[in-house]
């Protein structure tokens, strides 16, 4: 069934596709799990063609206190894999869970997503990392290694002539997805994938681990942690395209610390601000989603009634991770529309769902990124121009928008008390080739400070001028700027929404994008307010 949406041609990516598939278990027998770990005995009898080896992760992690029938020198590669019928080759998505009580098998909790992707023609697996679960800390490098070793197993099967997966795996189209600590770990996996060694551990296969160097198309993190493991080189900067989804009622990872991972990924290079690494990043903040309901077997951790019903949360995961997978793995590039603007999926998401999203395209030029320092705001080089704050208090700050670790990303706080104030960016049109881009994008969000009315959307006018022509657009015509959802713990999160103003709409109003002279935020739609802005770009 095709669900209509505002673009008409897109089918709901959260609905099953038409491919038939088989679901198998792979594993590394013999695995004599004791009674306390009875949920894992399924891995002792894998499909005969899908018997795997063991790996040594002792350089990275010890096992917890659960009575695992193996040591950290020979942990198994267990998992569930959904394989489309047909000749392939099929792209790959591999999911990993996070930390949870080790006596409960967390692995099957993403089968609902694996089955969806397989029905669209993607080999999708969910892997067993339960032996790293427990009351521990700092083991997420090991989770990353396990994830990469599962990919290596798929590569081995793909290259083994007699294996059912021979030639069926497209190793240049890989999506790795992790939840919670597994969500942090996929960021490390993206980083490790390019390394020849980690400390004393060589990754060339000579000592068992690696080589990797997979063609990771994208990395997706569901409610991830951040910086529980920190490489010797500093906090991990995800080098691949990155997607993150997190819920406002997360009562486990309640600091939305993955936002810091998102901020570090594909950030502006101050030495080369026009240079792009060719990767995108996208974020979805889901009001009323909690932590555990993204995993279908984990009981909800949030207070009763605080979170949306589980079926709704799983539906949101299906729609948005489905759109990501179709876009990056199956070249259904039209589904990037969902990443760019979550409103495209509004007919597919549960009615009444409130979402906030960000998207940064590889093609962009910053008009203002705010990372030059904490002095007064400026237009960012190489674009030249001036910034004038008329009646609005404009201050660049290292504000902890979402909690967690102290931030190193600067945002611009704009506070006004009286309608008609404005922040005016005058630009030299010779330095801003806006006509080469499709969109002017501004990241902006409101806080729960007293100047903002509780539960009311914030609003202002975006005014763009070229020569004598000016076009004005209410921010609310581009997207809602939601009041922060009260969190389960701690301060409310300030999550900015990317407002995307199509350049075509400027042209319709007579504004010449090749002669852009100014962009103004005019605070004429609310008497008072406080908003935070991240960056202003011309982009696609």
Q: How far is the CB of 34 from another protein (least distance, A)?
A: 15
Alpha-carbon distances, residue 291 vs 214, 248, 306 (angstroms): 29, 9, 12
By C-beta, is 219 or 499 nearer to another protein? 219
- 480 secondary structure, DSSP code: -
- The 3-state DSSP class for residue 324 equals helix
- 51 secondary structure, DSSP code: B
By C-beta, is 102 or 322 nearer to another protein? 102
By C-beta, is 204 or 331 nearer to another protein? 204
Q: How far is the CB of 255 from another protein (least distance, A)?
A: 6
By C-beta, is 201 or 506 nearer to another protein? 201
By C-beta, is 139 or 361 nearer to another protein? 139
Q: What is the spatial order of strands in the sheet that 355-360 belongs to?
A: 21-26, 79-84, 123-127, 90-96, 169-179, 216-222, 242-247, 281-286, 355-360
Distance CA 538, CA 438 (A): 8
- The 3-state DSSP class for residue 65 equals coil
Assigned token pair, 487: 């969190």
Distance CA 191, CA 188 (A): 5
Interface ranges with another protein (CB under 8 A): 58-59, 61-65, 98-102, 133-139, 180-181, 199-201, 223, 225, 227-230, 251-255, 257, 291, 301, 303, 400, 403-406, 488-490
Measured from the Cβ of residue 173, the count of other Cβ atoms closer than 10 Å reads 22
Q: How far is the CB of 282 from another protein (least distance, A)?
A: 22
Q: How many CA atoms lie within 13 A of 165 on its CB side?
A: 28
Measured from the Cβ of residue 455, the count of other Cβ atoms closer than 10 Å reads 11
By C-beta, is 5 or 180 nearer to another protein? 180
- The 3-state DSSP class for residue 381 equals coil
Q: How far is the CB of 228 from another protein (least distance, A)?
A: 5
Measured from the Cβ of residue 287, the count of other Cβ atoms closer than 10 Å reads 19
Q: How far is the CB of 230 from another protein (least distance, A)?
A: 8
* C-alpha 442: how far from chain center: 19
Do you know the residue count of the chain?
A: 540
Alpha-carbon distances, residue 418 vs 339, 422, 476, 522 (angstroms): 35, 10, 19, 11
Cβ-contact 501, 441 below 8 angstroms: yes
Q: How far is the CB of 410 from another protein (least distance, A)?
A: 17
By C-beta, is 36 or 303 nearer to another protein? 303
Q: How far is the CB of 140 from another protein (least distance, A)?
A: 9
By C-beta, is 286 or 519 nearer to another protein? 286
Cα maximum dimension of the chain: 78
Which residues, listed in sequence order, are joined to residue 177 by a DSSP beta bridge? Answer: 95, 220
Q: How far is the CB of 531 from another protein (least distance, A)?
A: 24
Distance CA 280, CA 363 (A): 9
By C-beta, is 3 or 230 nearer to another protein? 230
Distance CA 123, CA 328 (A): 14
Q: How far is the CB of 351 from another protein (least distance, A)?
A: 27
Q: How far is the CB of 71 from another protein (least distance, A)?
A: 9
Q: How far is the CB of 225 from another protein (least distance, A)?
A: 6
By C-beta, is 199 or 373 nearer to another protein? 199
Alpha-carbon distances, residue 198 vs 58, 187, 427 (angstroms): 13, 15, 46
By C-beta, is 79 or 488 nearer to another protein? 488
Q: Mapped to the 3 state alphabet, what secondary structure does 357-378 carry?
A: EEEECCCEEEEECCCCCCCCCC
Q: How far is the CB of 51 from another protein (least distance, A)?
A: 26
By C-beta, is 221 or 344 nearer to another protein? 221
Q: How far is the CB of 66 from another protein (least distance, A)?
A: 9
By C-beta, is 30 or 200 nearer to another protein? 200
Distance CA 290, CA 288 (A): 6
- The 3-state DSSP class for residue 302 equals coil
């Amino acid at each position: 069934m095709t669900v209509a949406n505002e673009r008409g041609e897109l089918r709901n990516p959260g609905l099953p596709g038409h491919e038939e598939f088989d679901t198998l278990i792979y594993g590394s027998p013999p695995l004599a799990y004791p009674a306390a770990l009875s949920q894992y005995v399924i891995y002792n009898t894998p499909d005969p063609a899908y018997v795997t080896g063991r790996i040594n992760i002792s350089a990275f992690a010890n096992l917890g206190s659960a009575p695992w029938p193996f040591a950290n020198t020979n942990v198994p590669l267990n998992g569930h894999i959904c394989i489309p019928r047909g000749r392939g080759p099929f792209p790959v998505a591999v999911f990993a869970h996070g930390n949870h009580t080790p006596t409960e098998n967390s692995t099957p909790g993403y089968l609902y997503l694996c089955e969806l992707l397989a029905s669209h023609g993607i080999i999708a697996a969910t892997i067993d990392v339960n032996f790293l679960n427990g009351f521990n800390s700092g083991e997420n490098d090991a989770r990353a290694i396990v994830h990469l070793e599962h990919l290596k197993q798929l590569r081995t099967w793909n290259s083994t002539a007699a294996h059912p997966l021979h030639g069926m795996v497209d190793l240049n189209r890989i999506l790795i997805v992790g939840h919670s600590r597994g969500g942090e770990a996929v960021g490390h996996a993206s980083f490790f994938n390019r390394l020849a060694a980690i400390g004393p551990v060589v990754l060339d296969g000579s000592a068992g681990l690696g080589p990797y160097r997979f063609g990771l198309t994208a990395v997706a993190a569901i409610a991830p942690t951040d910086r529980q493991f920190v490489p010797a080189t500093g906090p991990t900067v995800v080098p691949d395209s990155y997607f993150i989804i997190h819920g406002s009622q997360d009562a486990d990872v309640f600091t939305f610390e993955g936002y810091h991972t998102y901020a570090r990924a594909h950030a502006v290079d101050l030495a080369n601000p026009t240079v792009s690494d060719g990767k995108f990043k996208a974020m979805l903040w889901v009001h009323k989603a909690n932590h555990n309901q993204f995993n279908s077997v984990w009981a909800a951790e949030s207070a009763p009634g605080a979170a949306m019903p589980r079926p709704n949360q799983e539906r949101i995961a299906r729609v948005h991770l489905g759109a990501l997978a179709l876009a990056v793995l199956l070249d259904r590039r039209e589904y990037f529309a969902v990443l760019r603007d979550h409103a495209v999926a509004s007919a597919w998401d549960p009615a009444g769902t409130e979402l906030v999203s960000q998207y940064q395209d590889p093609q962009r030029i910053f008009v203002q990124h705010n990372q030059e320092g904490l002095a007064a705001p400026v237009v960012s080089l190489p674009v030249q121009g001036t910034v004038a704050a008329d009646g609005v208090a404009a201050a660049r700050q290292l504000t902890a928008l979402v909690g967690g670790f102290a931030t190193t990303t600067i945002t611009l706080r704009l506070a006004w008390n009286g309608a008609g104030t404005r922040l005016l960016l005058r630009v030299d049109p010779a330095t801003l080739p806006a006509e080469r881009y499709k969109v002017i994008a501004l990241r902006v969000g409101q806080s729960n400070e007293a100047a903002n009315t509780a539960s009311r959307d914030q609003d202002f006018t975006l005014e763009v001028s070229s020569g004598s022509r000016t076009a004005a657009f209410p921010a609310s015509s581009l997207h809602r700027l939601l009041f922060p959802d009260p969190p389960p713990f701690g301060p409310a999160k300030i999550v900015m929404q990317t407002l995307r103003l199509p350049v075509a709409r400027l042209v319709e109003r007579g504004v010449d994008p090749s002669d852009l002279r100014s962009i103004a935020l005019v605070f004429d739609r609310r008497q008072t307010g406080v908003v935070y802005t991240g960056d202003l770009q011309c982009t696609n």
